[in-house]
Structure 1
Amino acid sequence: MSSELELLKQRITELEAENVEIAELRKENTDLRNKLSVSDAEIAELKRSNNEFLRANREYNERRDAENAKLKARIEELESENIEVRDRLTKVEQKQSQNDITPNNNSSKFNSGAVHHEKPLEEKEMDSCLLEAHKKIVSEDIRRRNKEKKLQRESANQDVTFGNAYVSETVVVAPQLTSGNGIREIRIREIVYFRKMFSSKNWHSGYDLLRQGKRVAFVSTGAVMARALVEKASKLSKPDNLPVRAHTYYGDMDGKQRQKDFSDINVAWSELDCIAYTNTVEVRISFEVTGHFDIIIAITNIATPVH
């Protein structure tokens, strides 16, 4: 009898030990389940982040490829336009050289009453100055496009993109309202378009108007051309023999002069016969005051005719 009791006690002790072990195992199992739940949530978040990254990367690559295609097409277009500009510039230089040389065998024609069309020295000097300014613009155009080509090649490896390609020049002569008291009739005069080329007649039309006492505004894409136009205009005289009053406005002009003139542009321009300003300051100018000038001769960066 006593031996059975001992066996039962021993069995009870073993069962109690097993119960303790089971409780510990249950606790460990609960901890493992909690950790597994956290891991599942982290995995789901990682998957979501990875999908978002892949989607953004795919959109970026598509956008980059589209921009690179546009840049490539634009560069090809600029190369084609540059060839055209070089050909036209060559023709202008050849024509300029021919105008500077007076054939000796024309003396008999002059004596017989034929009209002599040789340009005055003053106009030749203007042509030379403006031609030099235009050469600088073309040279800057070539350097800018070479830089853009280099940036495009780098963008293929470094995901670098760029914009604001330079466009060849178009010269437009457009009429403006004449200044005066009260309401004036709007007279639509002939609008002449000069496509993508430098011609001395364009500038001479403005200079002829200045000599007649008219007021002229030149608009240019570059400060070099604007300063050259004003420099020559300042050497002209009006019908009253007074010199033409002219001034240049450009992006990096003197800050004090800019602040003074733009504080009251009506007063500043009413004292001038001719101005030349670049499109970098055009946004600062209210076109309500263009009535100060009889005509605006614009050198813009628009690749198609202005209507």
Structure 2
Amino acid sequence: MTTRRHLLRAAAAGSLSPWLAHPAWAERLKSTKLVVGFAPGGTTDLVARRVAEKMGGSFAETAIVDNRSGAGGQIACTVVKAAAADGQTLLCTPYSCMVIYPFVYSKLGYDPVADFTPVGIAATTTQAMAVGPLVPASVKNVQDYVAWVRQNPQHNTYGSPAAGSTSHFLGALLGIESHLPLTQVPYRGAVPGITDLVAGQLAVMFTTTGDLLPHYKAGKLRLLATSGTRRSTFAPEVPTFSEQGFANLTSEEWFGLYAPAKTPAGLVQAANTSLRTALQDKAVIDSLAGVGLVPTPSSPEEMAESQRSQALRWGPLVKKIGFTADS
């Protein structure tokens, strides 16, 4: 009893974090916010909102989403970097902000490793390659597309949701490996690119599989490949890039939660437990599936390891492509 009293006094005096003084992390916070670096309605925003709905009431009494869009998600990262390490501010982001951006931007306002503590992966998506009515129906796979572009070099452009995105790099890698001078047309998000694709103004588009599914199911475009290690559960009839001889185009991008650096381990674990519980909820699973996302719960340690391994993979690939934000 005396020891406990001394610990509480020390915590109150500021010499010991109250989260370490006693298991208060097991109690709910009053509130927490999930900061998202993209506009409402996008994939990252949807992940955050579905998770927040369930974390409110478990990890915190209330959980809200705070959209800080801009600079491809970088603004949200800097906001969370500067936040107090008390569990009241978390970041929900695609891994590109932590894995790819260090190789694309000469100056980032944050260090993906030093400034954040991984909480857990939430969901995973694959990319897909789609062609529209501008491409003949005889083009049924990636090799057919490569052959068609060789014969029709005026159609050597491909769309992506943004320069520096995973979609951009997959198209660039296809060009390098096929020895084709493919030129990216960067759009402001997937929707305008898909609109041009369906209208026959663009030959091919690389973007997340979920972005393309509604139009694919409606027969308005064709999927030539998906980027997973296995075929997508949402389009199992479509072969992967790897199956078609393009193993370098394998990509499974995850969306995850981060806390500011130095957040106490107890708080991180509590947030991870709440996240895992949310990802088991049928409503969350169904909502994520609607945009081609698969719940992929992980431990903080597994997320950190994935971040490290993906950075090791993407660094050389980005260098091979030769793209920087300054180029």
TM-score (norm 1): 0.27
Q: TM-score, normalised by structure 2?
A: 0.26
The structure with more strand, counted as a fraction of residues: 2
Which structure shows the bigger proportion of residues in helix conformation? 1
